C-alpha cells in the first residue's frame, strides 16, 4: 500500500519534487522513477527528506537517491548541503557506520584463469578476514597511542606498516585521509571498541566479493579505469566498525542538548545538530574524520590480506596478478567542500548518508589518470545479482553537489528477511547460481538474501538516465564472504 503524499510532484521520468510546505526551507528532490516510488510503499523516508529540508542553512534542495529507505534522522540515500557559515552539521546526516565505503580491485585474471578456484579463494578470504558481529583480530592489537595514529593518518598509517604501497593512496577518496581529524575528540569508549577491530569486516551487508566484468557499457571510460570484459575483480565493503558507531552515539547524545542551546527547532529529535562553526560542530567533524580515517585503514588492511590470499591460491605475486586499486569511495560522511550554487561559489558542509561522491571530469580531487572521464563510482548490489561501476558527471556537480546513489537499498528489514527465508537454505540457493558464499551465521545470509534489496540495475539506471552518473560496467558475483 502506497502512502498518500500530496506535496509530491513528478518532474520527469527520473525525478520527483517535494513542494515546500510547513517548516521546509527548500524543496525536496528525489531521484526516482515510478516503479521505485511504488517500492517505497509506506516507508517514511520521504517524510525524512521533508524534515531535513527544515534544518537551518540548507541550500538548493533536500535530496534522496533511488536507493532511498528509512534511516536514523536522515533517510539512507539522503544528500543535503548546508552553508558552512550559517548552516548545521548533524550526526544523523552521516549515520552510525561512518565512512562505510566500497573499494574495487582489478586483476589481470580472466574468468577462465580463475576456473574452479573460486571456492578456494572464498575460503581463503574467510580465514584471513574476520567477519561477523564483534569480530576481532587476535594478531593486530594496537596500543592506545598507535590507534591515535590510525585515527590521524587513515590509510597512510596502514601503508607505513607495510600493508600496501603508496600507489594505493592515489586511488582513494581524499587519498585515504581526512586531514582535520583530532584524536582528542574521540571518547575512551570509542578507542576501546576500535582497538581489536581494525582489519575486520563486521556484520550486516559488509562483504568481500570476487566477481567478473560481465558487460562494458562505456569502453572509453572502462579503459581509463583499467577494466575489460571477463576480468576478475574484487570488491570490499566495510566501514569504521565499533569505533565509528561509538563516535556517532557519543555526539548524538551531546547534540540533543546542543540543538536546544543554539535555539534550533527540530522537526525530529533524531536530526539533532550544531552550527558548523560552533565548538560542538567542529568537534563532531574532527571526530567523524577520525572514524573515517579508521575506516580507510580498515579497508587498506583487508586489501593486503585479500592480496595475500590471491597470491597463495595462484602461487603468483600480486604484481603478476595485477591486483591494483581501481578506487575506494566513501559513503556516510559530512565534508566541507566548495560548490557553485545558483551562480555563486559557496563553501558547504555536504552530508552524504548512504550516498557516494560522484565528481565529474576535470575536478582537481580526481586522480590524474581519471580526470578526463570523471571519478569512479562503485555501486554494490546484493550477493546474488550484480554490482556496477559508474563515473561521475558534470551534471552531478551542478545538481547534486557531485553525489549519486551508493547501492541497491533495502526493501525488507532484517527481521522481515529472516521471516521470509524461514525453511530455505540461502547458501544452497546461491550455490545453485554458481555463487559460493561464506558467512559468520545462517542469520546473516537470511538477512542478506537478494530479495531483501531493490534490483540494483534499476537503481543505477535512474541515476544514469538522470545524468548524475554514467554506467560503465556490470560486475557479476562469483563468491563472497559476508559479515
Which residues are known catalytic residues?
406
DSSP letter string, 185-230: GS-HHHHHHHTTTTT---STT-EEEEEEEEEES-HHHHHHTT--TT
DSSP letter string, 163-187: SS-HHHHTTBGGGG--TT--GGGS-
Kind and range of the H or E run holding 18: strand 15-18
Question: What is the total residue count of the chain?
Answer: 483
Helix%, strand%, coil% for the chain, nearest 5: 35, 25, 35
- Distance of alpha carbon 458 from its chain centroid, rounded? 18
Closest alpha carbon to 211 in 419, 475, 482: 475
Q: Do 150 and 142 meet the contact criterion of CB atoms below 8 Å apart?
A: yes
Gap between the Cα atoms of 457 and 360, Å rounded: 22
Number of neighbours of residue 354 by Cβ within 10 angstroms: 25
Ramachandran class of 312: left when φ > 0, alpha when ψ lies in -120 to 50, beta otherwise = alpha
Do the strands 436-439 and 470-482 form a parallel or antiparallel pair, or are they unpaired? parallel
Do the strands 15-18 and 333-341 form a parallel or antiparallel pair, or are they unpaired? unpaired
The grid coordinates listed for 5 are 503524499
DSSP letter string, 373-411: T--EEEE---TTS-EEEEE--HHHHHHSSSEE--S--BS
Residue with cell 558548523: 276
| Partner residues linked to 408 by β-bridges | none
Gap between the Cα atoms of 217 and 464, Å rounded: 11
Closest alpha carbon to 412 in 32, 34, 40, 36: 40
Amino acid at each position: 500500500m502506497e502512502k498518500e503524499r500530496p506535496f509530491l510532484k513528478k518532474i520527469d521520468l527520473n525525478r520527483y519534487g517535494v513542494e515546500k510546505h510547513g517548516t521546509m526551507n527548500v524543496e525536496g528532490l528525489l531521484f526516482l522513477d515510478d516503479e521505485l516510488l511504488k517500492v517505497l510503499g509506506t516507508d517514511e523516508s520521504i517524510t525524512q527528506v521533508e524534515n531535513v529540508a527544515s534544518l537551518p542553512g540548507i541550500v538548493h534542495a533536500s535530496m534522496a537517491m533511488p536507493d532511498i529507505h528509512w534511516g536514523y534522522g536522515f533517510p539512507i540515500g539522503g544528500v543535503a548541503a548546508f552553508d558552512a557559515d550559517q548552516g548545521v552539521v548533524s550526526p544523523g546526516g552521516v549515520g552510525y557506520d561512518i565512512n562505510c565505503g566500497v573499494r574495487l580491485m582489478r586483476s589481470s585474471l580472466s574468468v577462465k584463469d580463475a576456473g574452479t578456484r573460486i571456492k578456494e579463494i572464498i575460503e581463503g578470504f574467510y580465514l584471513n578476514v574476520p567477519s561477523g558481529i564483534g569480530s576481532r583480530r587476535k594478531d593486530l592489537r594496537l596500543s592506545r597511542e598507535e590507534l591515535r595514529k590510525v585515527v590521524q593518518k587513515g590509510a597512510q598509517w596502514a601503508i607505513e606498516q607495510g600493508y600496501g604501497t603508496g600507489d594505493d593512496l592515489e586511488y582513494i577518496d581524499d587519498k585515504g585521509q581526512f586531514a582535520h581529524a583530532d584524536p582528542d575528540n574521540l571518547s575512551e569508549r570509542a578507542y576501546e571498541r576500535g582497538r581489536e577491530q581494525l582489519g575486520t569486516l563486521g556484520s550486516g551487508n559488509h562483504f568481500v566479493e570476487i566477481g567478473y566484468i560481465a558487460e562494458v557499457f562505456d569502453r572509453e571510460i572502462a579503459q581509463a579505469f583499467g577494466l575489460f570484459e571477463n576480468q576478475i575483480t574484487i570488491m570490499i565493503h566495510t566501514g569504521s566498525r565499533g569505533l565509528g558507531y561509538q563516535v556517532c552515539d557519543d555526539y548524538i547524545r551531546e547534540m540533543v542538548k546542543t540543538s536546544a542551546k543554539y535555539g534550533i527547532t527540530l522537526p525530529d529529535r533524531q536530526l539533532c545538530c550544531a552550527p558548523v562553526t560552533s565548538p560542538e560542530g567542529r568537534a563532531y567533524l574532527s571526530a567523524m574524520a577520525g572514524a573515517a580515517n579508521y575506516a580507510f585503514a580498515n579497508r587498506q588492511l583487508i586489501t593486503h590480506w585479500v592480496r595475500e590470499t590471491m597470491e597463495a591460491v595462484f602461487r603468483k605475486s600480486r604484481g603478476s596478478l595485477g591486483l591494483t586499486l581501481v578506487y575506494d569511495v566513501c559513503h556516510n560522511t559530512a565534508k566541507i567542500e566548495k560548490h557553485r550554487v545558483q551562480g555563486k561559489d559557496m563553501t558547504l558542509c555536504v552530508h552524504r548518508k548512504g550516498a557516494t561522491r560522484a565528481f565529474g571530469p576535470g575536478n582537481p580531487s580526481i586522480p590524474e589518470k581519471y580526470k578526463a572521464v570523471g571519478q569512479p563510482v562503485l555501486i554494490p548490489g546484493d550477493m546474488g545479482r550484480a554490482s556496477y561501476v559508474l563515473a561521475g558527471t558534470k551534471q552531478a556537480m551542478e545538481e547534486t553537489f557531485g553525489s549519486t546513489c551508493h547501492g541497491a537499498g533495502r526493501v525488507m528489514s532484517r527481521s522481515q528477511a529472516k521471516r521470509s527465508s524461514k525453511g530455505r537454505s540461502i547458501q544452497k540457493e546461491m550455490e545453485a547460481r554458481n555463487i559460493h558464499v561464506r558467512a559468520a551465521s545462517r542469520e546473516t545470509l537470511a538477512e542478506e538474501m537478494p530479495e531483501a534489496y531493490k534490483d540494483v540495475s534499476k537503481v543505477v539506471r535512474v541515476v544514469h538516465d538522470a545524468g548524475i552518473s554514467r554506467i560503465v560496467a556490470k560486475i557479476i558475483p562469483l563468491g563472497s564472504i559476508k559479515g
